[in-house]
Amino acid sequence: MMRLCIFFLLLAGAQAYGQSTRIDRVEPLNWWVGMAHSEVQLLVYGDSIATWEPSVDYPGVELLKSHRVENPNYLFLDIHIGTAAKAGQVDIRFSKSGKPSVTYAYELKDRERNRPKAQGITSEDFIYLIMPDRFANGDPSNDVVAGMRETALNRDSMYYRHGGDLQGIMGRLDYLQDMGVTAVWLNPVLTNDMEQASYHGYAATEYYEIDPRFGDNALYRELADELHKRGMKLVKDLVHNHVGLMHWTVLDAPSADWLHQWPEYTNTTYKDQVLFDPYASEADKKRMSDGWFVPSMPDMNHGNPFVRNYITQSHIWWVEYAGVDGFRLDTYAYNDLTYMAEWGQRMKEEYPDLTFFGETWVHGVPNQAVYTQGNTINQDYDSHMPGVTDFQTHFAVIEAMNGQFGWTDGVNRLYSVLANDFVYEDAYRNVVFLDNHDKSRFLSEVGENIDKYKSGLAWLFTTRGIPQLYYGAEIGMKNFANPDGLVRDDFPGGWPTDTVDKFTEAGRSAWENELFYYVRKLANYRRDNPVLQTGKLMQYVPEDAVYVYFRYNDDKTVMVIMNTAEETKAVATDRFAERIQAATQARDIITGATIDIAAPIQLAAKSTTVLEIL
């Protein structure tokens, strides 16, 4: 564990008097010269460190101000790093009357300007979401780490750790690349030194340390490098809203206002509507934003400027250190939205190509669009957030597969949701998905109907936006989020003791291979054809439970025909002449067969056909 407990007896005088002071931590762990923002705020933690006076003497580096807070174990130092500053060891000297001074060596580094980082995640990408504890165990030696609060390992329970790690993921990168994946999003991998359920990663107890049961900081950096070598990207999952109850700044808080405090425990209402409701009460707004997500996850007070700096700088640090390309922002609506707008602007100033998307598990297109950038629907702020996790199309595609066709039901729901894209600055920045780590597996949502499942997959890879696939979806992993939580089951073959290996063709059943190669075909076609990445979308009003849309650019046109009916359909194409124009043939991108589109196209029940117009 990287605890940075450093004892300094650096000066002759200190040794002569036998005196020492202890500096347990300085965060960020280091910083860089040549950053867009010239200041960094160091959090210094040590026993009564506030009773010492800091100073800096280093060319181009200036200590602007030192801040003392309620807890004397903290100092916050505002450091200015000028354009003339060079990389090197910056000695921060702490002095106290009657005591020998103590020096902390803080490292300033040169930026690795030729190393890929902050490339951004766009509609050209295909994201694969992995829960690291449940994907693959590449290093059994770190399954249990002595000294951590949770040491139980039990693959038979969804609530204990299973042993998956970064090394296991690195060992499966060829598998992901072959499938057509271009970006890997991992659920949080920072240390979660909690007493139970630490596997999911959303209750961080450290900001600058990879959980040792996943690996270490160097291995995370190596993962980024290995992805970049393959032309792939790394998405880091961030949690601004809360930390774990055992986070070190909770156990010994800098001040009473470090967290949102209540006279008695107060949970958030989870009612996002109050944040934009013109008739909402201030009491409801406060409880939504400042109430705790759950009792084990204290709510960070974003109104505290030291909290804001502490969080923001850690995110910049991971981009610069590891080479992260984009962020997913957890529980976006629960954050202080003024801070999140400030955070978004800061990220773009530092990394113009970096992108991020917020989790907006809400109901209603305006409820979701309100969090995206551009002030497009009379928000009183600009979030500077490019896109969101598109829960509205997620709900709608499930309805399209399962609902009865009606004026607003069935596939008409999907059509209508997409018709509302005018409320976004650019809906192509939204992340579209069938399921994730919190939602029931899509295969279970559609009653394990393989035709419906494949129809949903076809939509995922051909609609607008950035497609995201949850690990194991390509082999038909199933189950419901409630009550058993089995949506977080292990990927078969990821553990040395597994009797089957579904990462391989030989280890998969016939129908699993059918699904895998279906996903692979769609994903690779999308990767190789910009028409499905950035091409325009034209959709037609669904008729008789059949939904038709096109993706097109100057080079290609792709026609997607979704039959959500319980019976076969013959679809005449003359209605679509605006896009088909004079073409009479198309190629089925799954089978490779050439189709006569001058005649009615035959569609099996609950199926989707994807055609490239010839």
384-432 per-position pLDDT tens digit? 999 999 999 999 999 999 999 999 999 999 999 999 999 999 999 999 9
Residue 206 amino acid letter: E
Catalytic site residue from 359, 445, 490, 612:
359
Query: What mean pLDDT is reported for the chain?
Result: 95
Q: Which of 13-17, 291-295, 554-558 has the lowest mean pLDDT?
A: 13-17
Share of the chain above pLDDT 70, in %: 97
DSSP string, 518-542: HHHHHHHHHHH-GGGTT-EEEE---
Is 330 noted as a catalytic residue in this protein?
yes
- Residue of 424, 484, 159 lying closest to 296 (CA atoms): 159
| pLDDT bracket for residue 9 (50, 70, 90) | very low
Phi, psi of 342 (to 5 degrees): -60, -45
> Which residues are registered as beta bridge partners of 107?
89
Q: Is the pLDDT of residue 444 over 90?
A: yes
Q: Is the pLDDT of residue 297 over 50?
A: yes
Q: Sort strands 183-186 and 431-433 into parallel, antiparallel or unpaired.
A: unpaired
Q: What is the pLDDT of residues 205-256, one digit of tens each?
A: 999 999 999 999 999 999 999 999 999 999 999 999 999 999 999 999 999 9
| pLDDT bracket for residue 482 (50, 70, 90) | confident
At 14 the pLDDT is 28
Other C-beta atoms closer than 10 Å to the C-beta of 396 total 23
* Residue 332 CB-density burial (10 A; 0-12 exposed, 13-18 middle, 19+ buried): buried
**Contact 80/62 with Cβ under 8 angstroms?**
yes
pTM surpassing 0.75? yes
Q: Which of 153-162, 219-228, 483-492 has the lowest mean pLDDT?
A: 483-492
Integer-rounded Cα Rg, in Å, for the chain is: 26
CA angle 76–78–80, rounded 5-degree value: 155
Between the CA of residue 443 and those of 296, 398, 439, 482, 614, what are the distances in Å? 32, 10, 11, 15, 33
Q: Is the pLDDT of residue 56 over 70?
A: yes
At 317 the pLDDT is 98
Residues whose CB is less than 8 angstroms from the CB of residue 197 and which lie 6 or more positions away in sequence, other chains included: 159, 203
At 451 the pLDDT is 98
- State the virtual CA torsion across 380, 384, 390, 393 in degrees, nearest 10: 60
The whole-angstrom distance between residue 444's C-alpha and the CA centroid of its chain comes to 24
Residue 430 amino acid letter: N
- Residue 44, token pair as written in the block: 């210094």
At 573 the pLDDT is 97
| pLDDT bracket for residue 586 (50, 70, 90) | very high
Residue 168 amino acid letter: G
Task: State the average pLDDT over residues 345-354.
Answer: 98
- Residue of 348, 328, 395, 403 lying closest to 367 (CA atoms): 395
| pLDDT bracket for residue 378 (50, 70, 90) | confident
The whole-angstrom distance between residue 173's C-alpha and the CA centroid of its chain comes to 18
| pLDDT bracket for residue 381 (50, 70, 90) | confident
DSSP string, 355-408: EEEE----SSHHHHHTTSTT-TT--SS-----EEB-HHHHHHHHHHHHSPP-SS
Q: Is the pLDDT of residue 16 over 70?
A: no
At 443 the pLDDT is 98
Task: State the average pLDDT over residues 474-486.
Answer: 89
Catalytic site residue from 150, 330, 435, 490:
330
| pLDDT bracket for residue 26 (50, 70, 90) | very high
**Contact 143/152 with Cβ under 8 angstroms?**
no
At 10 the pLDDT is 29
Share of the chain above pLDDT 90, in %: 94
The whole-angstrom distance between residue 339's C-alpha and the CA centroid of its chain comes to 19
Task: State the average pLDDT over residues 494-517.
Answer: 98
Q: What is the pLDDT of residues 79-115, one digit of tens each?
A: 999 999 999 999 999 999 999 999 999 999 999 999 9
At 379 the pLDDT is 84
Handedness of CA 285, 385, 522, 179 (dihedral sign): negative
Q: Is the pLDDT of residue 601 over 60?
A: yes
Whether the bond into 28 is cis, omega within 30 of 0: yes
Say how far apart CA 206 and CA 28 lie, in whole Å. 11
At 367 the pLDDT is 96
Q: Is the pLDDT of residue 13 over 60?
A: no
Q: Is the pLDDT of residue 17 over 90?
A: no
DSSP alpha helices (H): ranges in 403-480?
A: 411-419, 442-445, 450-462
Task: State the average pLDDT over residues 138-165.
Answer: 96
Is 359 noted as a catalytic residue in this protein?
yes
Q: Is the pLDDT of residue 49 over 60?
A: yes
| pLDDT bracket for residue 20 (50, 70, 90) | low
Say how far apart CA 462 and CA 551 lie, in whole Å. 8
Task: State the average pLDDT over residues 160-168.
Answer: 98
